[in-house]
Structure 1
């Protein structure tokens, strides 16, 4: 990497432990500068008259020119020269930003390229006020590292320290984060530490970054426990701190941590935890780490001192699977181990649905119990980038179910005792597809991608071929249509989401994510009653869900004077009425007791969202 110091001087460092020689070549004047190797396998040099913006290559053992493996910017793409970035010179405006408590976050996942017509960080800034008005206070960016071409989900990134050039580069990301913080929004970033993309991967030309023992579904696995793995670990750990230090990122979501393999006595998770804790104490700022894992293992969020991975939270896929199959009868074809209402009740109260049971999809027992974990250690969602993106037509939930079930799904998510996450456009029921898209330049990779996607979809028996991910039109069709937000039923869905988020933030029982005082009971054929209380029962909340086409009757099991505070159909105050009739695909929320600051009453969602 290149670090600017005083008077337009710059230091360059690159790890290549098995190389004997390394040269630096500056493209502007053609200077070729020999680098000096230390005992840890790093080559160094200091160069004068090398201002920010200078472009360069490395030459291992006088071979061809290669970009910097730790490049902070690739202005001409993955095969072009790296550029010196001055991180000290940017003037931040978020000095008063102290971050937000994890348990208060309402996440919003977005893809920079598809979020706006322009597909840039600065265009996204112009829409932040809309997200604030909705109640969003945490944005999760899909990966922004430099990838091949001009469009990609980002999980094929080739330069882990870089920022995509056509998104706005390093300065664009800094301005975006700065603007978010000034509006009270935390920023999380997706990062990929299990593999790198197949095009533009120059790491092997420098060092043994990849393992010869392990392999991921997407390519070579990083070398976390073999010969020379100390340098690889440092490369990854320094990358985590890079985003926090230079870009003021509040947290990272690590992709597929179950595909990170390390059998060392001191694991990468131990090293990472110590580094983050040391940085936190030195900087006075926090950095939250969230994992994606399909292991259904509580160890992911168990402290490293107890043998766990030490993540602050992890995605809870079981919540989506259990809920989706209840909403869409076609869902059982693809989530055959789900489909019972008691499974969703378990997801609500315990977390993992599969906690040691036999799972037909895996042909083995799967998971362990998460019943003792607090709710703030799980992120739940009705949609994320993977769910529509891995359907042949890119269908969002709004394209699969009707309006009542959309309302029900939103309520099930936002009333849950977990950290909720919306996928961009979900808040107003966006009904354009979100496809998988890419822009490989290598003809071989383009062919392999199309053939691989086709075989994958045949295996899942979707009954149709996927859209061509390399077609630019597929990418353009995935861009949000923001004008819909204030029109017709889209506006109605947006108001519903606003009301739910407003209620979640206001009601003390909904802000309690301990899960110690929550109970979920089934009633009728397809009814779920979720009861929450504050310990002495002076404050209680009852959420009634009807997951069926039929009207259901519910007999109040809890005495007292209950008031309807939110309903997806027709809110009416109900006091001391023993039986309540619930319309199909509906949710009704009842409150017993008074809040300390605001008296919640029977209200429409318009009234709640206006508050």
Structure 2
């Protein structure tokens, strides 16, 4: 059956379509120039198993910039995929049509397909979805799956933004995973990288002006969003968003490092992406969320768009790393590098009390300047800010990939989990966090070019030395680094892990089943010494209260006494004894070192937000 192939190559004087897996023996079909730098040709790809490539002005074979499948690697010809032929069921857990998960009901679980299971595939990951549904999360955020060189990697060096990485199972397997997640009542967000491509297999610059030297990023030239030829580049990225949300039925996208999308146009690309997602949501009746990773601490990112262009970008959520940093310093005491700013005692009380940004127009010693802007939670409600105790960045970019709970007691880990999961912000977990996984999560690659691999080795060693982390950094190219980073699924049921899992489950299920208005709003935060070398922390907001003791001297038999507000004990970890009244009480909580108790008021009003 004939298929029309298209390519935007505005500087080419001749373009050939190459049909076949071997470009040297491919059937060559001349393409016809149309308008705006586009070329077209009709041909039957079936005799060639759908494989094809392009040759510009007699040059070497190049994969399709819009390729949806690179079965033989990112340097090889592309293969056609009919995403409309996926066998979607689109059923929710009750058998009815999938209704989606709005941003205000999100509790996110970030996972990396290649290390989530030993098999490292979508189909294997789908077998663990029941665990996530039972845990109480509502959204699975999948780290980048765009095709990248080799078999193993984080995914942020992808070079084929439309193609699903073949070692994970390819496009059909990804569709099966999304469909299975919906069947368990879980939305799926995908982490996408639009701000750069990886260094190996990046052929976009040979096809058209996809990059510009007018702006620069940590990875080199910026994507061309506002220079000559940028109309088609913007369309390339907007069509990518539409493909994921419509053809793959995804519920949302996490947009990597949007501060590196340099765009001086009056209408920013992110605003156009948000409008596109809103249009798809309105047409399909399923919420579609775009969540930005941004280091600007600017609430305008998630402020609604307004007629006449006076509003914000209109994205649906954004990461709030200040919450992570403040909790990390509170729990570990680390204060080197960018953590130095968060050694300020006000940092934890700020992010737990009333703002996701500690730097909201305040001076940052790490940056050497004022940073951020104040947040008005009446304009941008708390659930628009995604907070975490661990993420792939904050774990994997440590020298040995150690998780926060590897350096603190289980009780202190539980305190951090309770602070995050009872806060007003949208919570996000990193895979394995819920049971205190013993496995690290390290940086790994599978580059063919030794010069590139060695450059990465040396760069990471120097970076960690500058942060004061000595010792040997795991070799990213060593297969053992991948193996060490893969979750051990025998752990959740083991002693020492099962209790933490139960604690997370209790808090996540409460969050899932509680109407948003009963866990929203500002909190009162009290923090002070306990008189024995430790400190106590009390956080109360409408509907929920938390009492914790961090550290402390030798544990007296009856613990450290704290007045307890009225409420029902939802969850506790460590040495906790409640005096007076049993489950319903307004008495006293006696806490040993690194212990925590969470209480909830009778929700009564409304119905569970499920």
Is TM > 0.5 for Structure 1 vs Structure 2? yes
> In the alignment, does 2:449 pair up with 1:442?
yes
Taking only aligned residues, the RMSD between alpha carbons, in angstroms, comes to: 2.2
Deviates more, 1:291-300 or 1:580-589: 580-589
Cα distance, 1:51–1:188 mapped onto 2, change above 3 Å = farther
> In the alignment, does 2:15 pair up with 1:15?
no
Match of 1:474 in 2: 481
Cα distance, 1:339–1:44 mapped onto 2, change above 3 Å = same
Structure 1 counterpart SS, 2:272: helix
CA distance in 1, matches of 2:324, 2:279: 36
> In the alignment, does 2:324 pair up with 1:328?
no
Alignment of 1:202-241 (within 5 A): 202-241=203-242
Shift of 1:51: 7.1
Structure 1 counterpart SS, 2:334: helix
Shift of 1:248: 0.7
Cα distance, 1:37–1:307 mapped onto 2, change above 3 Å = farther
Q: Tell whether the 8 Å contact from 1:37 to 1:44 is kept in structure 2 after alignment.
A: yes
Alignment of 1:38-77 (within 5 A): 38-48=34-44, 50=46, 53-77=49-73
CA distance in 1, matches of 2:153, 2:62: 22
Shift of 1:146: 0.6
Deviates more, 1:192-201 or 1:467-476: 467-476
Alignment of 1:3-402 (within 5 A): 8-27=1-20, 30-48=26-44, 50=46, 53-94=49-90, 96-305=97-306, 306-332=310-336, 335-348=339-352, 349-372=354-377, 373-402=380-409
Deviates more, 1:167-176 or 1:416-425: 416-425
Q: Choose which of 396, 412, 424 in structure 2 pairs with 1:405.
A: 412
- Number of residue pairs aligned between Structure 1 and Structure 2: 581
Shift of 1:598: 10
Structure 2 counterpart SS, 1:485: coil
Q: TM-score, normalised on structure 2?
A: 0.91
Q: Deviations over 1:83-105 (max 9, x none)?
A: 01111222211151120122222
Cα distance, 1:45–1:326 mapped onto 2, change above 3 Å = same
Cα distance, 1:402–1:72 mapped onto 2, change above 3 Å = same
Q: Tell whether the 8 Å contact from 2:113 to 2:121 is kept in structure 1 after alignment.
A: yes
Shift of 1:406: 1.3
Structure 2 counterpart SS, 1:160: strand
Cα distance, 1:56–1:107 mapped onto 2, change above 3 Å = same
Q: Deviations over 1:335-393 (max 9, x none)?
A: 11112443212102211011111111101111111242311101111101111211111
> In the alignment, does 2:505 pair up with 1:498?
yes
Q: Choose which of 461, 464, 477 in structure 2 pairs with 1:457.
A: 464
Shift of 1:594: 5.8
Shift of 1:188: 0.4
Q: TM-score, normalised on structure 1?
A: 0.90
Shift of 1:108: 0.7
Shift of 1:69: 1.1
Deviation beyond 6 Å, 4+ runs, structure 1: none
Structure 2 counterpart SS, 1:358: strand
Match of 1:527 in 2: 536
Q: Tell whether the 8 Å contact from 1:564 to 1:574 is kept in structure 2 after alignment.
A: no
Cα distance, 1:229–1:555 mapped onto 2, change above 3 Å = same
Q: Deviations over 1:144-170 (max 9, x none)?
A: 011111101000000000000110000
Q: Tell whether the 8 Å contact from 1:527 to 1:552 is kept in structure 2 after alignment.
A: no
Q: Deviations over 1:538-589 (max 9, x none)?
A: xx43222323425654346x6xx54434322335364576654433222222
CA distance in 2, matches of 1:523, 1:492: 28
CA distance in 1, matches of 2:103, 2:279: 20
Q: Choose which of 541, 546, 550 in structure 1 pairs with 2:549.
A: 546
CA distance in 1, matches of 2:190, 2:407: 29
Shift of 1:245: 1.6
Cα distance, 1:49–1:461 mapped onto 2, change above 3 Å = closer
> In the alignment, does 2:569 pair up with 1:564?
yes
CA distance in 2, matches of 1:515, 1:48: 59
Shift of 1:331: 4.4
Q: Tell whether the 8 Å contact from 1:121 to 1:176 is kept in structure 2 after alignment.
A: yes
Match of 1:428 in 2: 435
Q: Deviations over 1:251-309 (max 9, x none)?
A: 00000001110011222123323333333333333321000011111111112323422
Cα distance, 1:307–1:22 mapped onto 2, change above 3 Å = farther
Match of 1:4 in 2: none
Q: Tell whether the 8 Å contact from 1:145 to 1:161 is kept in structure 2 after alignment.
A: yes
Structure 1 counterpart SS, 2:492: helix
In structure 1, stretches of 5+ residues that fail to align are 1-7, 534-539, 600-611
Shift of 1:468: 1.0
